[in-house]
């Protein structure tokens, strides 16, 4: 028996998307005028992306979410093919030092965004099938871990540590939700920390980011520049901010303010009140996602909604942690809010799948 989609979850998604348009309109104003001669360049494109994304969300909400269980392996194979293709010279496009894009000119997308979603489909299907053997390593966990490791490795070859971290964190949320034994998390956690240390030491720019995280003022014009400028935006915002559109840091101080550090501009202009509004929306989104998952009878649906909600909110908290100096700079965007077509469209598609599952709540 089905019911209507969850209206509160839908409302939260629309509020976040609408808030993102307001953010991009202000944060991208100066850079749009400087680079393209149009102060509305970024918000116009973001509005188109939002429109397309909302249509995709509606379509996904109308399909039975259990179809993703049937086609989870197909989605995963396609994701792996795209991740391999993006590494081929002439196919993959290099931006900001990472070969993470496929496309022509400004029309492009990130295969890693599709992999994040496809991996959730696969793990939700595989772990729901293995619920009786989840405590056994070889029968229950070995194959999912191989898939996670392969996806993580291909994304790191781009390299894109931020996306890989979000994907890995989402995978652990799913493994925990599926009932994997605690001893497994201890073992993998220690191994993951050791691997992370090796990754940081293997790339000088990552080591610089860690140094900048510990003491940004040790290199204020280099590796510490972004976080210092972000803090200069967040700190002076006070309780009510300077006023919408009145940011000072977007005037060429904070690089690309409409993407990874858009929350810093928002906090500068709307202050503590505006920042709390965004954080509250994300917390409500988590709560509603968990509410929907706990009222599904299908084990696949439970894991799917946990995974999709967890991925959106994990990425959000990583971004907010970077902007406020609580985490090292990772290059992770803020879902629904940061400028970017493939990211916004994919996030709205994920929301549509959650809405589809909500139609089957008890």
**Which stretch, 27-41, 72-86, 190-204, 222-236, has highest mean pLDDT?**
72-86
Q: Which two tokens stand for residue 45?
A: 């494109």
The CA distance from 80 to 297, in Å, is 31
Determine the average pLDDT of the residues in 130-152. 81
Q: Mind listing the pLDDT tens digit for each residue in 247-261?
A: 888 888 888 788 889
Map residue 312 onto helix, strand or coil: helix
> In the structure, what pLDDT confidence band is assigned to residue 138 with cuts at 50, 70 and 90?
low
Give pLDDT, residue 255.
81
Query: Is pLDDT of 30 > 50?
Result: yes
Determine the average pLDDT of the residues in 58-86. 90
pLDDT, mean over the chain? 85
Whether this prediction's pTM lies above 0.85 is answered by yes
Give pLDDT, residue 1.
46
Neighbours of 270 (CB within 10 A): 25
Lowest mean pLDDT among 71-75, 151-155, 156-160: 156-160
Q: Mind listing the pLDDT tens digit for each residue in 263-306?
A: 999 999 999 999 999 999 999 999 999 999 999 988 899 999 99
Query: Is pLDDT of 230 > 90?
Result: no
Give pLDDT, residue 291.
93
Closest C-alpha among 168, 132, 172, 138 to residue 153? 168
Lowest mean pLDDT among 197-201, 239-243, 347-351: 197-201
DSSP codes, 8-44: HHHHHHHHHHHHHHHHHHHHTHHHHHHHHS-TTHHHH
The CA distance from 276 to 324, in Å, is 13
The CA distance from 11 to 148, in Å, is 33
Query: Is pLDDT of 132 > 50?
Result: yes
Query: Is the separation of the CB atoms in 170 and 163 below 8 Å?
Result: no
């Amino acid at each position: 028996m089905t019911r209507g989609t969850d209206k509160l979850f839908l409302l939260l998604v629309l509020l976040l998307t609408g808030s993102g348009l307001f953010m991009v309109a202000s944060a991208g104003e100066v850079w749009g005028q400087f680079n393209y001669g149009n102060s509305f360049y970024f918000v116009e494109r973001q509005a188109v992306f939002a429109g397309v994304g909302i249509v995709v969300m509606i379509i996904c909400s109308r399909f039975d979410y259990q179809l993703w269980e049937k086609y989870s392996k197909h989605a995963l194979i396609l994701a792996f093919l795209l991740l391999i293709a993006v590494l081929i010279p002439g196919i993959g496009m290099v931006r900001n030092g990472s070969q993470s894009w496929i496309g022509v000119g400004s029309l492009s997308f990130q295969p890693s965004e599709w992999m994040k979603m496809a991996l959730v489909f696969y793990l939700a299907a595989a772990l729901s099938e293995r619920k009786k053997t989840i405590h056994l390593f070889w029968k229950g966990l070995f194959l999912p871990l191989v898939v996670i490791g392969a996806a993580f490795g291909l994304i790191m070859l781009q390299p894109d540590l931020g996306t890989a971290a979000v994907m890995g964190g989402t995978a652990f949320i799913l493994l925990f939700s599926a009932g994997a034994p605690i001893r497994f998390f201890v073992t993998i956690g220690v191994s993951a920390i050791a691997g992370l240390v090796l990754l940081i030491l293997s790339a000088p720019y990552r080591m610089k980011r860690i140094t900048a995280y510990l003491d940004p003022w040790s290199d204020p014009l280099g590796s510490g520049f972004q976080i210092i400028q972000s803090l200069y935006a967040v700190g002076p915002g006070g309780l009510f901010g300077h006023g919408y559109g009145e940011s000072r840091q977007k005037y060429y101080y904070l690089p690309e303010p409409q993407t990874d550090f858009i929350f810093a501009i928002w906090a500068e202009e709307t202050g503590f009140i505006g920042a709390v509004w965004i954080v509250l929306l994300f917390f409500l989104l988590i709560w509603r996602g968990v509410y929907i998952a706990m009222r599904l009878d299908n084990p696949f649906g439970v894991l799917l909604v946990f995974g999709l909600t967890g991925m959106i909110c994990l990425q959000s908290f990583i971004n907010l942690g970077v902007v406020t100096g609580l985490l090292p700079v990772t290059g992770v965007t803020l879902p629904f809010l940061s400028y970017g077509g493939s990211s916004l469209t994919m996030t709205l598609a994920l929301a549509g799948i959650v809405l589809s599952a909500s139609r089957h709540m008890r």
